[in-house]
Structure 1
């Protein structure tokens, strides 16, 4: 047992009551929270991310990626610093901050060098100010500093974490109320009022499907999500009509499997309301037994559209270069691995194109970084031209770009397309400083079964690029067209 380190002040007691009200401590993993920490790690570009709850004497991990779920004495946890601060705490290098030397095993192993945490809040009910109950944090083994945008994204993800916790708590409360709805009439009326309020706040509804007579009953919350008047005519078949075909199969299969095996289900699918408004919903269900035989399936449906859209937006922003609005290096690495896997299976051809802008540093030095950004944005637009047939474009950093080409027609004979792209890159860019001349040098390589790794594939295209720059900038070179096969003396991939 860990000893409490914080005096039982009114503020600390209120914070602890808010934490206890969520009933999250020592609970199993949950997919929504696991997904959230994975997104946080991706946004922050760190190997470890955690959603922690700060108890009286300990810090307990609800969800984590890059490390097993852990429990620490509160006195040794950096997350307690974030709770006390009430805002984002970033420590670029723990070794240069002696006041944190006893936190998270730093003095024993020196394995943690960077930490950033954002407070996660929750409330006992909607009439009480939310309190900080934990953190969403990222950890790296190297010292570093995040951008202001990454800090803001972490704050946004912490808000999503609080929203998920509130929705989970409301859903549990609603389910508890639903299970006790057979109490006395006066208690039932009070509970129904609370239940309907919880449904509205959590955007959920409860339902029951009777296996015996093939009928379904909805709560008001379910009608609200469907944008139907309560009491509208309803059958199992019409209920499934609100799911697109691909989602309808998921719902039908889950319902059949639950009836057959007794296993509960919990999944997210697309949904379309009676007013043709697309939503994203979460469906939960479990079998109801009488004398060991399934007689019904009961469950919840929850509108999670806002959270889902925010997650998707954050995922997209985490994979997009902020200046050019094309893929960044991390997205390029993932896409190249996937494209190579498809090419090995013979599902699609593949050509890798690497591009270096010529004289870009001189443009920055002469005209300034704002004009340089205009040039980068113009290159991003040119790499999305229709004739490139939806090739995946990415900025690898600085003045380096890449194209992952999978179009069969282009891959069959890349030279004409590469020649056209080389010409496009020579067109001047019109900026606030006037027309800026530019060009790009290109090296490319076609996929071969002899390529054993992404590093080797990049090295081939890079070798072709190096040779093109050596001979004449503003030109293109194919790896297959080299008179030699460069060794390790070429630029590192």
Structure 2
């Protein structure tokens, strides 16, 4: 089986098509879980565009992407076809230098110069995991991906597979839960196996009767709640397991689904009967009789582990790997939010920009290891408790920033600047030679003249370099004396 020079194994393609069909995702609307995943991939690898693609028989379907564009392509023209067929991560540093792709319309017309894609697998009906799509990033400039970036892409692909597996399991469970009397008999014979499968997948089924508002739970729904198996609770009792501020959202979403006869789905925090904080997802389809919704039938799943992995990846994406404090992307986001709070609430906000003095000399004299020590110690100094929750970030090579909102710090800006300059005096040693790094600090106040993040940063930058010139002038006067 061939197409434009690419050889396809017929058995593999058949199994892959069956695995893809079970997901029921081709041509569907965007979903926030997949949107968040591609956004994280783009940020971690520093590429403008990331996509999650599903590869059909003849076409590639885009499930999520970070930039506007077409949502399907001819399979033959896509880089992802090669990733799926080879079933391994594909990295093309420069597409123009790769004879397989230099004539591709994505290169000639769309200007794609870099591509990295990891295959996504789900089981086919025989339990064999098949590559059904890719998580990929592209750039309009050639580049060489760092091994750590490719490892991050592989981790994100694993998370994408977990989302796809969860969807496949949920769809299968909903199908089982909504099947009529014919399947009830079969489920009776297979009850033990089904209960084991529920426990392995941390998933259970439920049914809410609209007439009397009674709930029916499978055994594993009780286990997820931390309750002994027994009579189903009333809906009000079930809602009490959600944090109080979330309960109205859950109730409103359920009411809308019932009123409109539409699927219901929500993911949120959850507190079990024995006080454990978990993350759960509830999904359901309406059971309609004579045109009227008589029940909601669905599944309830503990997604705590998957959610924890997502949060860990998000924290990694927002953290500077060397210093352990926020990176530039997280800083821009936090400063924008702080400015909006200051405008809304009329509170005081200051931005401190810091530039390390003597950092290049330390690198040149003692080596980059000593320079890295300076950066780590600076990050630790800016995370100390006396800064009262101020957000510190490394925004460049030897440039740092602190977002100051606490009233006590804002009340004494001169004292804040002096103390920052004091803690930024960092001594380092290598081969018996000791050198000290210091920092110049510029602190700017936010006011109505700051219409954007750049306005406030430019103001702080001006103050910073005035401080640096003054420091240099002082040193020169001391030498002259």
Q: Which consecutive unaligned segments of at least 5 residues does structure 1 have?
A: 476-493
Change (3 A) 1:24 1:438: same
Please, what TM-score do these two structures have when normalized by structure 1? 0.88
Pairwise CA RMSD: 2.6
- Three-state SS of the structure 2 residue aligned to 1:133 is strand
Alignment-derived partner of residue 443 in structure 1 = 442
Judging changes above 3 Å, is the alpha-carbon distance between structure 1 residues 9 and 409 closer, same or farther for their aligned structure 2 residues? same
1:19-48 deviations in Å (ceiling 9; x for gaps): 333333233333322222222222222221
Deviations 1:242-283 (A, max 9, x none): 222122232233233334454442111101222322111112
- Give me the whole-angstrom Cα distance separating, in 2, the residues matched to 1:273 and 1:23: 32
- SS of 1:354's partner is strand
- Distance, in Å, in 1 between the alignment partners of 2:362 and 2:201 is 53
Report which stretch shifted further, 133-142 or 465-474.
465-474
Change (3 A) 1:463 1:249: same
Q: Does structure 2 retain, via aligned residues, the 8 Å contact 1:442–1:474? A: no
Task: Tell me, in whole angstroms, the C-alpha distance in 2 between the residues paired with 1:347 and 1:316.
Answer: 30
5+ residue gaps, structure 2, are 475-481
Quote the residue 1:265 is aligned against: 264
Whole-Å separation in 2 of the counterparts to 1:77 and 1:427? 52
Matched residue, 2:373? 374
The answer (yes or no) to whether the contact 1:323–1:373 under 8 Å persists in 2 is yes
Aligned match of 2:320? 321
Contact map agreement 1:392 1:405 (CA 8 A) in 2: yes
Structure-2 residue corresponding to 1:401? 400
Corresponding position of 2:355? 356
Count of residue pairs brought into register by the alignment: 472
Question: Alpha-carbon deviation of 1:352?
Answer: 1.1
Offset of residue 474 of structure 1: 11
1:91 aligns with 2:74: no
Aligned to 1:147: 146
Shift in alpha-carbon separation, 1:199–1:452, aligned structure 2, 3 A: same
Aligned twin of 1:275 = 274
**Does residue 250 of the first structure (1) align with residue 249 of the second (2)?**
yes
2:310 is matched with which residue? 311
SS in 1 for 2:164: helix
SS in 2 for 1:437: strand
| Mapping 1:2-151, distance limit 5 Å | 6-109=7-110, 111-125=111-125, 128-151=127-150
Q: Does the 8 A contact of 1:120 with 1:134 survive in 2? A: yes
CA contact (8 A) 1:90 1:115 kept: yes
1:189 is aligned to 188
Match of residue 481 from structure 1: none
| Matched position secondary structure for 2:182 | coil
CA shift in 2, pair 1:313/1:431, >3 Å: farther
Mapped partners of 1:227, 1:88: distance in 2: 41
* Aligned residue in 2 for 1:341: 340
2:188 pairs with 1:177: no
> For 1:276 and 1:434, how far apart are their aligned partners in 2?
55
1:233 & 1:173 partners in 2: Cα distance? 23
Query: 2:178 touches 2:297 (CA, 8 Å); kept in 1?
Result: no
* TM-score, length-scaled by structure 2: 0.90
Determine the structure 1 residue equivalent to 2:382: 383
Is contact 1:62–1:69 with CA below 8 Å preserved after alignment? no
Change (3 A) 1:363 1:234: same
- Matches of 1:16 and 1:451 in 2, distance apart? 55
Deviation at 1:92, TM superposition (A): 2.2
The whole-number CA distance in structure 1 between the counterparts of 2:66 and 2:193 is 36
Residue 112 of structure 1: CA displacement?
1.3
1:199 aligns with 2:207: no
The 1:306–1:185 alpha-carbon spacing in structure 2 relative to 1, beyond 3 Å, is closer
Rate the CA distance shift 1:240–1:6 in 2: closer, same or farther, 3 A: same
Relative distance call for 1:275 and 1:42 in structure 2 (3 A) is: same
- Please report how far the alpha carbon of residue 411 of structure 1 lies from its aligned counterpart in structure 2 after TM superposition: 2.1
Distance 1:334 1:230, change over 3 A: same
